[in-house]
A and B are shown apart, each in its own frame.
Chain A
Amino acid sequence: AQSVTQLGSHVSVSEGALVLLRCNYSSSVPPYLFWYVQYPNQGLQLLLKYTSAATLVKGINGFEAEFKKSETSFHLTKPSAHMSDAAEYFCAVTYRGMNTGNQFYFGTGTSLTVIP
């Protein structure tokens, strides 16, 4: 079965501290992986995506993620948190070569709080 697990439904960091949001996937085939951000009362916006090129992916707003096949992980990081980073973050996975609608599977989300 294909699935995504986000460890920690709530994460708090101080402004200027490292942000680390965890995502692990379960897959029997090579995945494509995505991180989305959702600000209050808005839709989801793409932060970054891994599509089998470089394993270290850089996204918008200073975020990056590293695909680690051996650990089946795609953790999201940012060196220095900003107040504007406070939001809900979702990890998602889809798979290569599927023809059944190329469905995306989403994690349950991590709410990031940034403490001034």
Chain B
Amino acid sequence: NAGVTQTPKFQVLKTGQSMTLQCAQDMNHEYMSWYRQDPGMGLRLIHYSVGAGITDQGEVPNGYNVSRSTTEDFPLRLLSAAPSQTSVYFCASRRSLGANTGELFFGEGSRLTVL
């Protein structure tokens, strides 16, 4: 059971380039989300999805796009990378919204550097 899988683990971009961070989960979780982690700021929610075809913005959505075509996958797209997007990105999922006690399961993170 792989859990939440993120790729790539490391990426270096130049300002203005675009890229997609991949996230897949094999737990049949309805809820999936993307966070960024920056020193001293904890984890901040970028976008989330409560099921296939349904996405919504979190706390810091600017500069990022998401889509959810399947239950398993939730890619995060950087449209035009900026140095301020240098961060560690985590994908996380949880089971059905009806089970409000469910914890988030995290991937191992994707470390992005924008030059």
Contact = CB atoms under 8 A, between A and B. Distances in A.
Q: Is the interface of B mostly helix, strand, loop or mixed?
A: strand
Contacts of B92: 44
Interface size on A, as a range, is 20 to 34
A109 B41 CA distance: 8
Contacts, number: 61
B97 A107 contact: no
A44 B6 CA distance: 13
B98 to A, nearest CB: 10
Give the interface size class of chain B: 20 to 34
Contact of B101 (A41, A49, A90, A92): A49
A89 to B, nearest CB: 11
Interface in B11-41: 31, 33, 35, 40-41
Interface of A: 9, 32, 34, 36, 41-46, 49, 51-52, 90, 92, 94-104, 106-109
